[in-house]
Every structure is written in C-alpha cells, then in structure tokens.
Amino acid sequence: MVASVIKPTPNTDHDIKDLSLAPLGKQRIEWAGREMPVLRQVRDRFAQEKPLAGIRLAACCHVTTETANLAIALKVGGADAVLIASNPLSTQDDVAASLVVDQGIPVYAKKGEDAETYLRHVNIALDHRPNIIIDDGSDVVATLVKERQDQLSDIIGTTEETTTGIVRLRAMFKDGVLTFPAINVNDADTKHFFDNRYGTGQSTLDGIIRATNILLAGKNIVVVGYGWCGKGAALRARGMGANVIVTEVDPIRAIEAVMDGFRVMPMEQAAPLGDIFITVTGNKHVIRAEHFTVMKDGAMLANSGHFDIEIDLATLKDLSTSVTTVRNFTEEYRLPSGKSIIVLGEGRLINLAAAEGHPASVMDMSFANQALGCEYLIKQRGVLTPGLHPIPTEVDQEIARLKLQSMGIGIDTLTPEQVEYMNSWTSGT
Amino acid sequence: MVASVIKPTPNTDHDIKDLSLAPLGKQRIEWAGREMPVLRQVRDRFAQEKPLAGIRLAACCHVTTETANLAIALKVGGADAVLIASNPLSTQDDVAASLVVDQGIPVYAKKGEDAETYLRHVNIALDHRPNIIIDDGSDVVATLVKERQDQLSDIIGTTEETTTGIVRLRAMFKDGVLTFPAINVNDADTKHFFDNRYGTGQSTLDGIIRATNILLAGKNIVVVGYGWCGKGAALRARGMGANVIVTEVDPIRAIEAVMDGFRVMPMEQAAPLGDIFITVTGNKHVIRAEHFTVMKDGAMLANSGHFDIEIDLATLKDLSTSVTTVRNFTEEYRLPSGKSIIVLGEGRLINLAAAEGHPASVMDMSFANQALGCEYLIKQRGVLTPGLHPIPTEVDQEIARLKLQSMGIGIDTLTPEQVEYMNSWTSGT
Amino acid sequence: MVASVIKPTPNTDHDIKDLSLAPLGKQRIEWAGREMPVLRQVRDRFAQEKPLAGIRLAACCHVTTETANLAIALKVGGADAVLIASNPLSTQDDVAASLVVDQGIPVYAKKGEDAETYLRHVNIALDHRPNIIIDDGSDVVATLVKERQDQLSDIIGTTEETTTGIVRLRAMFKDGVLTFPAINVNDADTKHFFDNRYGTGQSTLDGIIRATNILLAGKNIVVVGYGWCGKGAALRARGMGANVIVTEVDPIRAIEAVMDGFRVMPMEQAAPLGDIFITVTGNKHVIRAEHFTVMKDGAMLANSGHFDIEIDLATLKDLSTSVTTVRNFTEEYRLPSGKSIIVLGEGRLINLAAAEGHPASVMDMSFANQALGCEYLIKQRGVLTPGLHPIPTEVDQEIARLKLQSMGIGIDTLTPEQVEYMNSWTSGT
Amino acid sequence: MVASVIKPTPNTDHDIKDLSLAPLGKQRIEWAGREMPVLRQVRDRFAQEKPLAGIRLAACCHVTTETANLAIALKVGGADAVLIASNPLSTQDDVAASLVVDQGIPVYAKKGEDAETYLRHVNIALDHRPNIIIDDGSDVVATLVKERQDQLSDIIGTTEETTTGIVRLRAMFKDGVLTFPAINVNDADTKHFFDNRYGTGQSTLDGIIRATNILLAGKNIVVVGYGWCGKGAALRARGMGANVIVTEVDPIRAIEAVMDGFRVMPMEQAAPLGDIFITVTGNKHVIRAEHFTVMKDGAMLANSGHFDIEIDLATLKDLSTSVTTVRNFTEEYRLPSGKSIIVLGEGRLINLAAAEGHPASVMDMSFANQALGCEYLIKQRGVLTPGLHPIPTEVDQEIARLKLQSMGIGIDTLTPEQVEYMNSWTSGT
C-alpha cells in the first residue's frame, strides 16, 4: 500500500489541473499498484538501500497511475525527482494531483496542455538541473543538447523507453552531440516483448473500441508497421476476429507478417480496403494525401506510435470541407467527394487518448527496467561510455523471474549434467 | 529445371544405397525446386559469376530434396563439392542417387547408416581437404579441429545453421580451437524466423501425425523449450486445437510463453499431464527417468532438436520390460507398472525421421543463406577474423526481398521525407 | 439520417432522467445508425409500406443507441410504441431523452432505477394495452399472463431475443399459460451467431477491461458455460492471450470445448485457478460459497448472462467483512481470511454495466430480426399457433444477404446444374 | 485387444487384394483401437447383450482401421455382417485382409478398384439380403430402391453418416421411394462437430502435406464451402499460418465466415488468388473451366467432399495439353497457356487418398453413433416411420460423456436449485 498524508495546500511546487482530485488519483494509483508486483519489490529494496540518494532526476513520462508507482519508487529510493508529461493528451489529472498532494513529488502536467505549456514544462524539468533524465521520446534530452550545453556536466545519463526516442538518440550520437550514456530500456526483452507487443496490442484495440464502440470482427484492419507494436496490434486484431492487412518497408518484417498469415501489400493497395487503420511505425506521414483520397467512406484512422505525425492530419484537414466531433475522441473529416474519414484521438497515441494506456501489469516490467536502469547508470558512473547501452541481461532476467514468481509460476533449472553439456563441444559426435 | 543426363554407372565416387532410385530422386528434387525461387535466383547468378570456382567444399547436411537443390547451386557456382549425411535417419536414398547419377556430385549417405559408417563419411569429407565446410551440428568442424590440425591451413571458413552447432562453435572459440571464421547462418533472420519457427512448427506436427495418425485437437501437448523452434511447435500445435504446455529454463522465454497464452510449469508438473511431448531445447536429457515414471499410460515422446539426446532413451530402455514396434517410427516401451510410453522416430528429429523434413519453401531461404554465406566467406577471405560472424544484414534483406517478389507481394518504400525524418533528432519536439 | 425537431418541453409522456441530454443522445443514435445498414433498409421499407400501422406495441429492451434505431424503425413502420428498460443498469439516459424529445416516443427508463420503479414501468407498458410485446427476458409477458389475463385478447404475439426469455416462455407453454404465438428471435442464425457469439465475446471483454484496465494476456480466464455466448467469450479471451478454462454441465458442449483447445473441468477445480471468471449460463448461482472460499486473492468475477443471479452475491456479501468500491464498477469483497474477491458491475451484464453493450453492427441483425418478427406476427395473425415459433429461414437469409451487401461482399450462386444435382439422388453412384 | 487366429486360407468369402497383409492390418487395427475408447465400451456391452443377434447387415464404408473396429463391434454384437468399400481409393488392403483372416468378416474391397468392381460389390452387399444397411453416401440404398424393390420387406432401416448421403435420402423421401426409416448419424452432434470439423480439418491438411510437402504458412488457401467440414478446414489452415479465403452460396454461412475473420468472395474472384483450393461442398463442379483458366501457375486443387465431382476434372483434362504425375497423388495438368494446375489425389477425398483418413479418436464417436444407431433401429422397429430420424439426444450425450470419461475430464452437474430454476418462469421478475 502507498503511504499517504493528505496535504490540502501542499508546499510541493506544481502545475497541475486540480489538487482536489488527489483522493481519486490515490485510489487509482493503488489499484494499478496491485498489478505491479515487480516494481513493488524493486521499491521495497530501494526503500532499504536508497540507491538514488542525492540524485536529481527529471522524468518525462505519460502521467498515469503506473508512472505514479514508478515515481514513488524513485522517490523512495532517494531521488529528488520532478515529473512532467510526455504527451498532452495522456495526463490523468487525478494522478498528478495525488503525486503532489500525497507523495510530495513536483508534477507539471495538465491533460490537454498546449505546445507552449509543454515546452515550458520541459524547461522546468531542465531547471531542476537533473543528473539523470528518464525520457520518453527524447524531447528533454534533445532540448538539453541543443540549448543547455552548460548542464551537460551535471548529467550521469538518460534512460529511454520508446522506439522513437532510441531512433533520435542514435541520430544524436551519430551527430556527435550525445556525450553521455543512454540506457536503452526499449530493447530490454522484458520491455519490448511485453510493453510494445502485449501492452500496445491490447490497449490500442481498447482505445479504438472505447472511442467508437464498433465491432472488430469481420472488419479489415490495416496495421501500418510490423515491429513489436505492430505485431501486437495485428495479433490482437486477429484475436478479435478482424481480417488484418500489414504494410511494411522492411522486407524481413514483411515476410514474417506473410508467414504469420497476414496479407501484406503497399499502402496504396491497402488504403481502399481498410475499415480501420492503425499506425505504429515511429515514422511520419505513413498515411497521407494519396491514401486519404482512395479510402472507403467512413474509414477510421488511429495512431499508436509515439508522436502524432504518423497520419498527415494537416493535409487531411486542408482536403476536408468540414471537421465534426461525432463522439468523444472521434472526429469526422468530410471530403469534397462526400466521403468521410474518421480520425480517432486526434491522431495521438490512441491507447492513452481514448483509453487508460497500458495495463499496469505490463508497465510493471517496463518501469522496473526504468528504475533499475537509473540504478545501473549510477553504479556504472564513469565506466559507461557515451552513447546507447543495453539493459544488462541479468537485470532483464531478474525482472522476468520476479514476474513469474508473482504469478505463482515455476520453471525448470539446468541439471549439472546439462550445464556441462551446454559448455562442451566434444560430446556431440 | 535441373539438367539431367542418365549415367547408369557413374564414375562419380559415392557410398549410397541404390543408384537405380535416381529417376524418382530427380523428379522429387525438381518438385522441391519449384518452391525454392530464391535459391533458384542465386543459382542462376552463380551460373553466370562462378563465385565458388576453385573452391573445395564439404557439406554435411540432411540429404533431402532441398539440400540437393543447394548442392546443385554450389556446383553450378564452381565448387568442387562432396556431400555427407548429417543424420542417419533423414537421408532420402533416391535423392542421394540422383545427385550422383544426374549431377555428378559425390555423396556418402545411406538412410539408417550406423555410427561407424557416419564417422567414416565424416572422414571422407575431410579427406576432400575442404576450403569451406557447410556443417549441420558442427561434427565435421569438431573432427577437424580435434584430429586434422594439419588441414587447418586449407580452411577459409565454415557455415553453420543449427542452434546446436552454434553452441558448439561458441564453446570451441572459448577453448581457443576455432581458428577460422564461422558464418552463423542460424541467426540470419530469414533463417531462424522461417526455418526454426514455421518450418519446424509444421514439419514436427507432420512427423507426429504421419507416425501415429492421432488427432491433435483436445490433446495436451508439452513443448519443451520456447526458442524459435519451440515457439513454432507451440503455435502450430495450438493451431491444430491442442492445449499446449511449455517448459523452459529461461525466465524471459517462460514469461513470453505465458503472455502468449500457454501454460508454463516445470517438467515434473507437466510430465503427468501431457499426451504428447516435443523436445526442442538443444540440450540433453530434458525428459528423463523421473519424468517417465509419472507419465500417463500411452504418453508419446517426440524430439525435434538436432541430436537424439534430448530424451534419455537409454534409461527408458533400462526401465522397460519390453520394446515393441507398433507402427512405423512408433515404438512402445512397456514399464513394469503396466503403463507404456510411446517413442516416435527413435528420438531423432521427428520431422526428418517420420516425415520429409522442412518444406522446400522454408529451406529455400535457409539454403540461400548457406550459399551466400559461402560466397561471403570467399569475398571476405583474410578480412574476417576467427570466430562467429553474422550473415550481413544486406544479404538477409535481399533474401527476404527475393522471396516476397516470388510471391508477387510488394511492400512500401520510404519517401525522401521519411528517410530524412528517421535520420533526424531535432524535429520531434 | 434520423429526422429531428427539438421540442424542449415535449408532450410525449415519459419517465426519464434528463430531457436536456437529448442532443448528445441524438448524435450517438446517429453514430450507431451508421453501423446498422440492415435495420436502415428495413426502416426505409417500413416507411413505404407501414406494415405496423394501427398496432400498439410495448418494447422492453436495454435502452441503448441501437435500441433507439429499432424504436425509430418501428414507429416509422406505423406502430404506436412505448419503450421501457429491461435492465436498471444499461439505460443510456441521453438516448432515452432523444427518443422522447426528437422522436416523440414515450420512454420509461432511468439508469439505476430500483426494482419498484422497474415494476411500475412494466405496468405502464401493459397499460398501453399492447398487441405486440417485444420482450427481453420475458418479464412483461410473465406479468401479463400472471396479472392481466383480461388483456390476452389484445395480444397478437410476442418476440423474444434472450436465451433466458426463451427458457421461460418454454416453461410457460408447458404450464399452459402461453396462449399466443411467440417468435424466437434468439435462435435466428443471424441473431445468435452474431449477437451471442461475436457481440457478447467482444463486449464482455470490453466491459472487463473498462472496469479494471488489466492485461488479459497470461491470465487464467474461466468461462462458465459454453453456449453461443460462452463460445464467444472463450474465443475472444484466447484472442487476447488469456489461458481459458471452460466449465459446463452439458457433455456435448464440454467435449466441443476440449476439441477447441480449452481446458475443461468442474468449477470446484477451476475456482482456485482462475484470475477472472465470466458467467454466461442463463442459470443461477453457478459461482457460489464453496467456490468463493477457494479462490485466489484478487480473483475477479464478471457476469454476461441476462440476469444478475449467476453469481451468488448475497452469500458473498454475507461471507465478507467489508465491501469497498475500488474503481467504477469494481467492488472488493474482503473475506475473513484476508483474501479479497473483486466483483465487476455488481454482477449485472458486464458489457452493459461497464461498457456500451453490443456494438451497433451486431445489434443491426438482431434488431432487424425483431422488426421483421413483428411484421411476421401481423402477417401470420390467426395462422400461427400459440407457443414458440422460429424466425422463418427466408427472413434469416435475407438479413444475412443485406448485411453482406452492405459490406460490399459478394457470394456464389448455384448453377442450374448444381441445383439439379442437389435435388437428385440418382446421379451419385 | 482384438482376438486373433491366423487362418491362411480362410473359408470366409471375400474379394480383397492380399490375405498375407493380415498381420500388418491386425497391428494397425489394434493401434487405432487404442484411440477408440467409446466404441470399445459399446463393443463390450454388445458382447454381453448381443443386441444385433439374428440381424443381416451390409456396411458400405471406407475400409480403414477405424471401420474395422466398428465391424468387429457389430459382429461381436451378433450381426451377420458384410463389408464393402465406399470409395475405391480409401481401402487399406491390410485392414481388409485382417478382417477376413482374423475376424471372419466377409470383405469386398480393393484399393484402386474400378467402377465396375465397385458396382459388383454393391450388388454382393445386397445379395446378402440385409436387414440393416450402414451406408456412406447412400449408394447401396439408392441401388436397393432402384433395382431391388423385392428386398424392401427385409429392411428394418439404414444409417447414414455423410452430408451427401443425407441430401440424397431427403431427395428419395421427397420422391416417395424411401419407404423405411433412415437414421441421420451425420447430424448427431458427436458426429458432425468432431468428425466433419475436427477430423476433416486435420486430415485434409494432412493429406495435402503428405501429397506435396509444401509449407502452408503464408499461402492463400481457398476453402470452398463453409459447412462443418469447411469450418474445420478453414480453422486448421489458419492454425497452420495460411491466409484463408472462403467461398459460399449460403449468405448465413458466408457472414459467419466473415465474422470469423476470413475473406469471403465469389469463386471467380478467389480463383486467381489461391495457392491451394479445398472443396467441401457436397455439390458438383464448384471449381470448373471458368476458374481453371484464371488460376495462378502451380495452383493446387484438393477435394475433401464425399464424391470426386466437386472439381470438374473431365473438363480440366480436356483443356490440358498434358497430365504428368510429379509425386504420389500429385498430378500436373499443363494448360495451353504454359501454366499448370496441380490436382491432388485425383480429386477424391484427399484425407483418404493421400493420408490415412480421420484419426481414430474422431471416428470413435462417429462409429459409436453408427453402432448405437443400428441398435436403435432394432429397438424401435415398427415404431419409427419411414424417412429421416435424428440420433436420440440421450445417445448423443452418452457418447460425449463416455468420451470425456476416457480423457479423465469431469464436468459440473446441475444443483437441485438450478434444475428447479431452469423449469420455472416465475422467479425472474
């Protein structure tokens, strides 16, 4: 259980919507905590060992009940942490309130905040002069290396858990501006297997169903991109009875999708067939003017990639004679032809915009990776070179082991004879 | 089409069962060739460019129709190649005959050959003084480094396509005896995704069904190991209506199996539940005495790992009061309790023992990797260091591209704007 | 599009929550109407032909956007219809408002109405002296035959679309009190295949996810009952990565579940294994005291059967030391052992309590059956005998045909030669 | 175990291929018997009660190991039975031999027998002057009513287990020539659910794989007909990674296929897309000239319907410039365009032609229905009217119950309170 003292007028600094939402937030944070047994065990150890003592930490994340459990674990571990929202639509205002009121963690996040506010929050995070940045899409790091070179000496490192952020960090490193270590949480097996595949898979469909209440069975669902997120979305869409079409640019992923039983084709062929489109590429404008014009009347577009640039909405708006909100998170763009295209969640991450983001049990492992990634940065300070580093395998395996334990599932262990066999090359013949 | 001149008394050296089987072998090799469009395109280019000219090559493979198409491509590419069987049960005698008679390729392989014969064939392969060894389980390489150090100077490198072989090569490298480059074909995406997962998945079940003709729907099938082969077997077993239980030693793979909807438990719990067991671990004695004794009456055991050591058959035999062949490839071990255990294909690779090995369209990509791996060894002669090397990504992607093309499937290409976006880290914010 | 004239103080009689919700209701009714092309075509024909002219009709249904489209079609067809809620939790107050304000249809339904109010509404429906009763669970019909025998002469017949209602009508017929025809809409193929299986399948999971936001992958989900609804729930739960256990009382359904790859066992064995339980039996107390006491801590119970009696909640409450609401539609019952059991949606239909009921495209066919069932009752007045009658096959097929058309899907037609073959018995030999 | 005395020159009348195959047949019959626990229990009771004593019985079935177990049960039950083959390709000559040699049952069946021989065998069966005919496709019954009206007085009834046969019996009844009762075994739940769906599903793919050894993953498989057999084939094909297209003439089945996630289209659209076609309609010429001409080069055609008329092979042959056998059961028809079409198993039931028919555990329930259907005919002699009659529900449920028992699976039973609730209509309100 999360400890709590109600402080109606907290002296914790913040920029949030409504402090009075704290009780609801607290209840929901605790509910999520039930499904996060791995992070709970990490937090319990952190409470003993205080591995983050003396560390200033800035976290830029979706401000959800799961993130709250991470933030609490970091604080319990000794960190002086501030939290800003990585996405204007995903902030849960009650959670922000509870973190400020019940946990004394400074939070700067309001659901629906505009771009200017977001930028102000990024700068508040950097004003905190962090030693460690937990980033989500690499915006804080990008601002740091562009505008705050003077703070580079403060930095121990960063952790990053999105594909988008990893792509950007790689580009920064290539350009010579990433001068500190970055822990690639995204590629931890216990992160991308579960978060990207099972988490995104379920929550993307959840977002689409909450936004529209349509039946997925019998629909043609076009999944754009067959990375881990795309695999998850495609698998679950089929699991709900949809007929799934995959589009890709990578031939290996494309043939994998074929072998998994999906239809694969270029987007120009898929555009007129799809009833629902889900973009999960990490790239921009993967659905664009040439595709809008050939779509069915009533085709629905949803994005589950990190940024809201996968669908070229600006152009869609230009092409349209009207835009009408027909349900929450559901806007109808009317084209001159009379056909309409339905955009869900304004093209932002649909699972966060229209649903509640990933289920807690998924974020459990991702955020255990984040917390342990921070600890690793500190322990390896001075040892880790600038650039991207994977989560150590032992950490990854330990997280999986804790998760299995919490589910009451045992596995086998190698016998001594088997260990010897695996290390030998002479006994086969 | 494969060119052919019938030579009833060939002057090609060989040790095979029956030359008169050549016409059937030829027909079947051509049938497999239809489903191997990628290898066909490689062969056509090799015919032009002769990249293997002057190279002595020893290949140790399952002597199947698909391998025959590889052998033909290698010869067409200029190689002076000999072929031996990597497994005593998998040899297709008609294929061996056709390679000798129709293609003039020396082959040493007889279905059911004993261990002594196998060893003799390994030595004949080494007597060929190969520059390149295409190995399957690393037996030829292991014999070379143990007994033929004088030939090490001939060696350009080896290619290896089994998990078992990779494990052994890694151990050899650790022990300092692997002094030449080894191309890890097994870990090419276009190999392990398709061969290990989709190939093993289908052909393992095919072997079990041919051996037993039992219905899989409603059966408890225990898949031992959740690597690529295990994933394939589990997926296809579920696809046939079985209820699948997975056992593992790796916690990350174990939790992945859980998330995929399978039951996961230690073998001691699974043993009394299973109707059919499939071993795919690359390790030894994963099913052993303590498990046999608690199994259901009539439980069936099949192996799809490379070596026939995954099930401890010697001990099972010791425990049994009788062993009876009840169908082809199906032996009943009667225990003193009166219960019986059914062993399929003598615990050897069930897909090769009781069925026809992987379908050609799967081996198409694996063998294209083998052929291009040999070419790469030659091109990079002197550049590649000793030890294991991956297949280059470009080769992997090219194979996938050719495969998609052959299926008439197009994919998207990045727009210039997208390429720029993927290389940029400044535009996100 | 649905015609609309805003009447702020309507002279239509009603008992609903808030007339000012009408604009939102209207928008949502139209959204649902997009996904109901079959009912739209029926409505268009009804507008021409007025087959229900002069008929007094009482409909007892879940007051949702989809029902609204049915009610509008009935009114357009000439019926003098009143609508009451069949379930206190499922009423959508905005929809009720729009039907009164925009359509002039008398509605008696308030979300959360108590049992007394419900009974009053049933009597208002009967005060309307209906010729036709569209019932949902047979409460209106049961009240009629028990308390209003004087109105029996008014009755042309009833249509019923739930399993529960059919069971009750069958019992009434056996007891000799059902003296008029009842159309069994529930057993129309285009009803139970789609509504019970695909509709309940998706919407049950939707309700559970909205109530809890938990990840289904890797969870043990126990589906209680393997009728059409249970098949749907089991199929979709597996599609989301859950490991599904089925309990049944019917051996044929049980073995079907086994063959579909599910584990089947008695509830006493399933109770300690399940993470989530879904009841869909149409029977009472299928989860009861003996099961509660052996469940895991945190086990979740949801019902998708018509009545809220499948879980013995009264006993659970008696056993519990406390009951706490931990999220909307999510109550935690704490047992003296310290373990807790989570009950979703108060044990009422979870898809209606916590989500939005069936998607419109499913109800499209069910409600087309209802509308055409009413028309059939009128056309066959005096011909149909008392008791249950199926929907005519031609109606069923016509609905399927219209649905396929609306999806742009064509099918084959028999050639004259094939028709002849199907009618012949001499040509086989 | 089946009792056995080797009689090298039996005095049992027969027309089979080779008596010396009896030992192999006996072994295989016993192997199948292991998977037929329900039929075994029926046989054991028949041995006690002799319900078929004095009955002359003619059985026309696929002469397989499973049928042998049925024949033995019938003989053990007292019947004076003869057996003929219902299909020229499906006869297992070793089984025929064992029935004659070991069981003393007259058998008239040779694998590959021509039409004339088949007709002769039908007449031998009728010369036996049967009281009961177990038919498979209704050929014996059709011959009887056409040519042997004098024997009608001998007849107690017939049992029929194919869709094709039921269609023909229905037509005979309509024409007034079916003057005795016919038990519709095909529509027993424990028959069509399992035999048609799970049996045909697995064994059809088994036949295709054995005939071709091709990989199904990634292939477009067109399933022609979505009855129980088609549902099974489609489900299993998807389970093996294929992309499945369904064609249908019935709109209800078509929309069910859509909702199950398959593509549905007319055959003229499917023909150019399919890699493999499977016909399971019970109708004739469902693939014909107009389809052949637009197929892909190398498209494969297989039939799993009862008769070999679903593919119009005569026309295909006329269109072709050559027909070549490229593997066992695999013929290549070369069209003038240069493209070829591959026909598997000569268009006969592929699971019987190229594989071993249904697995024993499936036929277990079908044949228990046959045996109990015969017993029912005798018990109800004089009571049953002419025409088709279903298997009584109690028989169906008893078979399911025995099957579950044999698998060690328990199910729930209704509590007295639940029984009362199901019979009541007053407690709902």
Q: Which chains touch A (3 or more CB pairs under 8 A)?
A: B, C, D
- Tell which wins on pLDDT, B307 or D245: D245
Q: Binding-site residues of B, please?
A: 64, 136, 161-164, 191, 195-196, 225-230, 248, 283, 304-306, 351
How close D303 comes to chain B (CA, Å)?
20
Q: How many beta-carbon pairs below 8 A join chains C and D?
A: 179
Using the predicted structure, report yes or no on whether residue A23 has a pLDDT greater than 50. Answer: yes
C261 contacts B238? CB cut-off 8 A:
yes
Tell me the pLDDT band of A195, cut-offs 50, 70 and 90: confident
Long-range contacts of A26-30 (CB under 8 A, 24+ apart): A26/A2, A26/A98, A26/A102, A27/C326, A27/C327, A28/A65, A28/A92, A28/A94, A28/A95, A28/C327, A29/A2, A29/A65, A29/A68, A29/A69, A29/A72, A29/A95, A29/A98, A30/A1, A30/A2, A30/C326
Using the predicted structure, report yes or no on whether residue C2 has a pLDDT greater than 60. Answer: no
- Residue B418 forms part of a structural domain: no
Looking at residue A327, which CATH number applies to its domain?
Answer: 3.40.50.720
**Gap between the Cα atoms of C268 and C284, Å rounded:** 16
Least CB-CB distance to A327: which of C31, C217, C327?
A: C31
Are residue D265 and residue D396 in the same domain, yes or no? no
Least CB-CB distance to A261: which of D238, D255, D260?
A: D238
**Gap between the Cα atoms of B113 and B95, Å rounded:** 16
Please tell me the predicted confidence (pLDDT) of residue D10.
67
Which chain B residues are Cβ-neighbours of A119 within 8 angstroms?
429
Are residue C53 and residue C130 in the same domain, yes or no? yes
Which residue in D94, D213, D214, D295 has the most chain B C-beta atoms within 10 A of its own C-beta, making it the best mutation to test that interface?
Answer: D213
Are residue D15 and residue D135 in the same domain, yes or no? yes
The alpha carbon of residue A178 and the mean position of all alpha carbons in its chain are separated, in whole angstroms, by 22
Query: How many domains are contained in chain C?
Result: 2
Using the predicted structure, report yes or no on whether residue A118 has a pLDDT greater than 50. Answer: yes
Using the predicted structure, report yes or no on whether residue B2 has a pLDDT greater than 90. Answer: no
Nearest chain C residue to A362, by CA: C215
Which chain C residues are Cβ-neighbours of D167 within 8 angstroms?
422, 425
Are residue B307 and residue B211 in the same domain, yes or no? yes
A206 contacts C198? CB cut-off 8 A:
no
Mean pLDDT along residues B105-110: 97
Please tell me the predicted confidence (pLDDT) of residue D227.
94
Residue A228 labeled ligand binder = yes
Please tell me the predicted confidence (pLDDT) of residue C9.
57
- Residue B306 forms part of a structural domain: yes
Among D300, D322, D348, the domain-final residue is D348
- Residue A414 forms part of a structural domain: no
Least CB-CB distance to A411: which of B198, B251, B415?
A: B251
Instruction: Give Cα separations from B405 to A262, A269, C19, C177 (angstroms).
Output: 16, 16, 61, 70
- Mean per-residue pLDDT over chain A, rounded: 93
- Residue D119 forms part of a structural domain: yes
How close B13 comes to chain D (CA, Å)?
28
Are residue A390 and residue A308 in the same domain, yes or no? no
Are residue D27 and residue D149 in the same domain, yes or no? yes
**Gap between the Cα atoms of A138 and B266, Å rounded:** 41
Average pLDDT by stretches of 10, chain D with 429 residues? 47 93 94 94 97 98 95 98 91 96 97 94 97 95 96 97 90 94 94 88 96 95 96 97 97 96 98 98 95 97 93 98 93 96 96 89 94 96 96 94 94 93 69
Among A321, A348, A375, the domain-final residue is A348
Residue A23: partners with Cβ closer than 8 Å, 6 or more residues away: A6, A98
A249 contacts B425? CB cut-off 8 A:
no
Please tell me the predicted confidence (pLDDT) of residue C295.
98
Tell me the pLDDT band of B9, cut-offs 50, 70 and 90: low
Are residue C340 and residue C367 in the same domain, yes or no? no
Residue A296 labeled ligand binder = no
Please tell me the predicted confidence (pLDDT) of residue A10.
67
Which chain B residues are Cβ-neighbours of D216 within 8 angstroms?
202
Among C348, C375, C393, the domain-final residue is C348
Which residue in D226, D364, D366, D425 has the most chain C C-beta atoms within 10 A of its own C-beta, making it the best mutation to test that interface?
Answer: D425
How close D314 comes to chain C (CA, Å)?
16
Please tell me the predicted confidence (pLDDT) of residue B7.
45
Are residue B28 and residue B54 in the same domain, yes or no? yes
Nearest chain D residue to B364, by CA: D215
Are residue C313 and residue C379 in the same domain, yes or no? no
A260 contacts D243? CB cut-off 8 A:
no
B226-253 per-position pLDDT tens digit: 999 999 999 999 999 999 999 999 999 9
B152-208 per-position pLDDT tens digit: 999 999 999 988 899 899 999 999 999 999 999 999 999 887 888 999 999 999 999
Q: How many beta-carbon pairs below 8 A join chains A and D?
A: 30
A209 contacts C199? CB cut-off 8 A:
no
Residue A136 labeled ligand binder = yes
Beta carbons of C294 and C266 less than 8 angstroms apart: no
The alpha carbon of residue B165 and the mean position of all alpha carbons in its chain are separated, in whole angstroms, by 10
D202 contacts B206? CB cut-off 8 A:
no
Residue C196 labeled ligand binder = yes
ipTM reported for the complex, 2 dp: 0.89
Residue A226 labeled ligand binder = yes
Which chain D residues are Cβ-neighbours of A258 within 8 angstroms?
218
Using the predicted structure, report yes or no on whether residue C324 has a pLDDT greater than 90. Answer: yes
A400-409 per-position pLDDT tens digit: 999 999 999 9
Tell me the pLDDT band of A9, cut-offs 50, 70 and 90: low
- Residue A251 forms part of a structural domain: yes
B23-49 per-position pLDDT tens digit: 999 999 999 999 999 999 999 999 999
| Burial annotation C347-384 (CB, 10 A radius, 16+ → b, else e) | bbbbbbbbbbbbbbbbbbbbbbbbbbbbbbbbebeeeb
R_g over Cα of chain A: 22
Which residue in D246, D358, D411 has the most chain C C-beta atoms within 10 A of its own C-beta, making it the best mutation to test that interface?
Answer: D411
Which residue in B205, B222, B243 has the most chain C C-beta atoms within 10 A of its own C-beta, making it the best mutation to test that interface?
Answer: B243
Range of the domain at C265: 198-348
Least CB-CB distance to D139: which of C139, C168, C429?
A: C429
A412 contacts B267? CB cut-off 8 A:
yes
Tell me the pLDDT band of B424, cut-offs 50, 70 and 90: confident
Are residue A249 and residue A311 in the same domain, yes or no? yes
Q: What does DSSP assign to residue B223?
A: E
Please tell me the predicted confidence (pLDDT) of residue B10.
66
Q: Which of A297-306, B129-138, C9-18 has the lowest mean pLDDT?
A: C9-18
Nearest chain B residue to D331, by CA: B31
- Residue D218 forms part of a structural domain: yes
Which residue in A269, A412, A414 has the most chain B C-beta atoms within 10 A of its own C-beta, making it the best mutation to test that interface?
Answer: A412
Q: Which chains touch C (3 or more CB pairs under 8 A)?
A: A, B, D
C242 contacts B218? CB cut-off 8 A:
no
Are residue B373 and residue B342 in the same domain, yes or no? no
Looking at residue D49, which CATH number applies to its domain?
Answer: 3.40.50.1480
Determine whether C296 is exposed, middle or buried from the number of CB atoms within 10 Å of its CB (0-12, 13-18, 19+): middle
B375-403 per-position pLDDT tens digit: 999 999 999 999 999 999 999 999 999 99
Please tell me the predicted confidence (pLDDT) of residue A310.
96
Please tell me the predicted confidence (pLDDT) of residue A429.
44
With tokens 């589950």, the residue in question is A304
A428 contacts B142? CB cut-off 8 A:
yes
Are residue A116 and residue A12 in the same domain, yes or no? yes
A261 contacts D243? CB cut-off 8 A:
yes
